[in-house]
Amino acid sequence: MDLLTLLLIAVGVSMDAFSVAICKGLSLRRTTIGHCSLVGLWFGGFQALMPTIGYFVGIHFSEAIESFDHWLAFALLALIGINMLREALGKEEPEEGCEGCNENPLAVGKMFPLAVATSIDALAVGVSFAVLSVDIWSAALCIGLTTFLFSFVGVRIGSIFGARHKSKAELVGGVILILIGLKILLEHTILA
């Protein structure tokens, strides 16, 4: 597989992570290079890990993975999106002493399911890499770095927009996550 094709695949699979990174930026009051890097590492790391896993599992079990990956991605993104909608439409609480105000939007419990959900497609890509005998190490590195960069920029874009329109931004972010989940589901069921 040539470098241009691999780069196009990397950009394609990083788009979900880019969209979710924008949502993460929306949920942060201020962003730093550390915040952008952390989100980039989560999403880039999982986008590199999943095709690698898919490659090795795909050698033996490609049909089993394809049968449920889209449902898992849809369920995770829909649940997270619905929670964001609930928070956006919920009653505004005062800044001082409000419950949940100290929750870190970049905590492991919040980032892990997002990283898994946005990288499920990369798992399937890894299976196809196994069939095509692609060098998985260079492919995973390319996908991981591309996703890191897109996610880094996505957080920054989200924070610029979200600082002015936090409630509306959370609403939009929740809708985006649900739509990404639906897109994944439709691509694998109706449009397949």
Give per-residue pLDDT as tens, 95-153: 443 344 457 888 898 899 999 988 888 887 887 788 777 899 999 999 999 999 999 99
How far apart are alpha carbons 1 and 4 in whole angstroms?
9
Model confidence band, residue 38 (pLDDT cutoffs 50, 70, 90):
very high
Instruction: Reply yes or no on whether the pLDDT at 77 is more than 90.
Output: no
Q: What is the pLDDT of residue 95?
A: 41
Per-residue model confidence (pLDDT) at position 33: 95
Spatial distance between the Cα atoms of 23 and 175, rounded to a whole number of angstroms: 10
Instruction: Output the pLDDT for position 83.
Output: 73
In this structure, which amino acid lies at residue 59?
Answer: I
User: What pLDDT does residue 37 have?
Assistant: 96
Residue 95 class from Cβ within 10 Å (0-12 exposed, 13-18 middle, 19+ buried)?
exposed
Band of pLDDT at residue 85, cut at 50, 70 and 90? confident
